[in-house]
Amino acid sequence: MKIFFQNLLHKFLSIERDPKRLAYATCLGLFIGFSPFLLFQTPLIFILGYLLRLPIPIIFSVVYLINNPFFTTIPIIIANYLTGYIIFTYFIPWNLCVYNPSWFAWMEKKIGPSINHYLGIKDICFWYFMVGGVVFAILFSVPFYPLFKRFYMKLITHENNSPK
């Protein structure tokens, strides 16, 4: 596993050598990976990577390391929903369930009973998921920019100073 991540970092550094751009790309990948826009993640990677002129392979790698369809998608969806639920239950007491889109009613009928059983939430709300997902994605991407920038700066200087 250690060799896998070392090879991945070397590939990142072969694509881009600027620590700021690497940190921006990594944080954008974190944002997209944690965002609630599940069906639009891949188009978002290409559109935002192109518009912001960031290395698309790095963004793509980070998104699918974070939001792996086999292991982390369901926990991320639950965390997105619970973030919105906490925000709109405890901090801003608004009932956004009345504004659910009409197509969302079938999903509420399908997964509502199991969510009530396992999480203790009686109504599921599309807007809790969307707003909570954006807030969750911001909380797990923006604060990490300085850490990634410092990490990439040290990694690049270490690679430049290491004997070849």
Q: DSSP per residue over 80-98, as a string?
A: HHHHHHHIIIIIS---GGG
What's residue 157's pLDDT? Answer: 83
What's residue 41's pLDDT? Answer: 92
Smallest CA-to-CA distance from 131 within 71, 73, 88 is with: 88
pLDDT band at residue 119 under the 50/70/90 scheme: confident
Q: Which residue has the higher pLDDT, 56 or 123?
A: 56
For residues 158 and 98, give the distance between their C-alpha atoms in angstroms, rounded to a whole number. Answer: 55
The 10 Å Cβ neighbour count of residue 106 is 9
Enumerate the domain spans of the chain. 2-67+141-161, 73-134
**Token pair of 7 as six digits:** 């090879």
Task: Kindly give, in sequence order, each residue whose CB lies less than 8 Å from that of residue 126, ignoring residues fewer than 6 positions away.
Answer: 100, 101, 104
The pTM of this model reads: 0.83
